[in-house]
Amino acid sequence: MSLEAILDTIRPGDTVFVAGSTGEPTALLDAWGQDPERTRGLQIVTSAVPGINALDLGAWHPSCQVTGLFMQPAFRSLHEARRYHWLPLSYGGFTKHLRECSTPPDTCVVQVSPPGPDGRHSLGFAAEFMPVVLGRARRILAVVNHAVPYIARSPKIDKTAFDAICEVETSLPAYDTGELDEVSVTIARAIAGHVKDGSAVQVGIGKVPAALLAALAGHRRLRMQSGMLGEGFRVLVEAGAVEEGWAHQGCVMVGSRSLYDWAADQDCFEIAGCEHTHDPARLASTADLVAVNSALAVDLFGQCNLELAGSRAVSGAGGAPDFARAAKLSPGGLSIVALPATAKGGSVSRLVVALPSPGLSSLPRTDVDMIVTEYGVADLRGLDVAERGARIAAIAAPQFRDQLQREWWALHAAM
């Protein structure tokens, strides 16, 4: 069946699930952009990730509604028109929502590899929410992408599960961290000193995570227990830093074409659905889980904003709340939040006395053990409210420290 014939099976009013990250079926999305009439009346649910998936939602039909977990610039016009519905859910929360919602998707569009040795198709480098959605969607449309490798340790689907199949060959979405800067390297080195050999490690994507995994190359027996596996995972494998025989795990792998070519021949990792990778009970029972997440701003109570730049929504919580809570409960675990101390060329402190109103606390203070900037580490474990605030203020940029301390003690006295 052709891609056009697949699209013809999707009707106005349908709810359609479309994966993000490296599972994004770009051939289908491009076809929608070229013929917006095909999106008339659709309710599209997507896990598109900023920096990886640049959906041009504005090119779709004006009656089309989109639901997702992340805000990004391309979604701004739809957000303002109330056509983009931003869900305040973590990956674990979204998994539960998809499993239990009263209106499951009419259609699931799933991108898969060509058949493997057992005749089944692999989800390749991206499982995410797909295993849950596949179990609930009324109709499953498969896009067999010859650029998707058959990954031995990735969920498999028999072709009998598909209602329609088409074949394409389109490049997988990629992510480029760019050159590491001095601030990111300094933060990473500070974090690395708190990671023990044999730890289970979770990081996201970005400069600090990439610098951290490079800084951990001298460690041994590390176990990757993450949402995303990226270029840094390859660095650890090639340095001999990871536990041999362990299925290092993520719900997606994302990076360069070189990473994808390398990973296609590896059997040291597993791609699993979020119902497994972000399962709170399983994660909390993982010993020595070190979760390292980024933030846009942190206040002196230890509350972390991962989603707003000023008053503008630019991202989402992602899997950070799931891993931060689990690391906090893990035997020997550690929940770390890392961020540069300033923004806008040093003119704005990213450490603030209190998150502003309106504002968002993506991570509560109760789920954070350490805050790290290029100016040091604030170890908050066991501290009272007053001392936590003082410790966080002490790792702000020097030009902001005195003011933060003064405002903090005044606020604390008034509480």
CATH number of the domain that residue 84 is part of: 3.40.1080.10
Q: Is 177 within the bounds of a domain? A: no
Do 348 and 340 meet the contact criterion of CB atoms below 8 Å apart? no
**Digitized pLDDT (tens) for each residue of the chain, 415 residues in all:** 899 999 999 999 999 999 999 999 999 999 999 999 999 999 999 999 999 998 887 789 999 999 999 998 888 888 999 999 999 999 999 999 999 999 999 999 999 999 999 999 999 999 999 999 999 999 999 999 999 999 999 999 999 999 999 999 999 999 999 999 999 999 999 999 999 999 999 999 999 999 999 999 999 999 999 999 999 999 999 999 999 999 899 999 999 999 999 999 999 999 999 999 999 999 999 999 999 999 999 999 999 999 999 889 999 999 999 999 999 999 999 999 999 999 999 999 999 999 998 889 999 999 999 999 999 999 999 999 999 999 999 999 999 999 999 999 999 999 9
Q: Which residue carries 């509604």 as its tokens?
A: 65
**Do both 250 and 290 map to the same domain?**
yes
Q: Is 174 within the bounds of a domain? A: no
Q: Is 311 within the bounds of a domain? A: yes
Strand partners, 223: 200
The residue from 104, 138, 168 where one domain ends is 168
**Do both 226 and 120 map to the same domain?**
no
**Do both 144 and 190 map to the same domain?**
no
Do 143 and 6 meet the contact criterion of CB atoms below 8 Å apart? yes
**Do both 226 and 122 map to the same domain?**
no
**Do both 160 and 243 map to the same domain?**
no
**Do both 132 and 12 map to the same domain?**
yes
**Do both 158 and 214 map to the same domain?**
no
Closest CA to 69 of 128, 123, 137: 128
Total domains in the chain come to: 2
Phi, psi of 118 (to 5 degrees): -95, 5
**Three-class secondary structure of residue 113 per DSSP:** coil
Do 205 and 173 meet the contact criterion of CB atoms below 8 Å apart? no
- The maximal CA–CA distance of the chain, rounded, in angstroms, is 70
Tokens (6 digits) for 279? 């399962």
**Do both 155 and 102 map to the same domain?**
yes
**Three-class secondary structure of residue 232 per DSSP:** helix
Q: Is 279 within the bounds of a domain? A: yes
Helix, strand, coil share (%) of the chain residues, nearest 5: 35, 25, 45
| pLDDT of 59 | 85
Q: Is 223 within the bounds of a domain? A: yes
pTM of the full structure = 0.96
| pLDDT of 357 | 85
State which residues form the domain around 344: 182-414
**Do both 83 and 223 map to the same domain?**
no
Spatial distance between the Cα atoms of 151 and 24, rounded to a whole number of angstroms: 17
Q: Is 175 within the bounds of a domain? A: no
Do 132 and 93 meet the contact criterion of CB atoms below 8 Å apart? no
Tokens (6 digits) for 74? 């391309």
The residue from 107, 136, 168 where one domain ends is 168
**Do both 105 and 199 map to the same domain?**
no
Task: Provide the 10 A C-beta neighbour count for residue 4.
Answer: 11
The residue from 112, 134, 168 where one domain ends is 168
**Which regions of 93-198 does DSSP assign to beta strands (E)?**
107-112, 121-122, 139-145, 156-157, 164-168
Q: Is 410 within the bounds of a domain? A: yes
| pLDDT of 73 | 82
Q: Tell me, what CATH number does 295's domain have?
A: 3.40.1080.20
| pLDDT of 18 | 97
Q: Which residue carries 């020997």 as its tokens?
A: 332
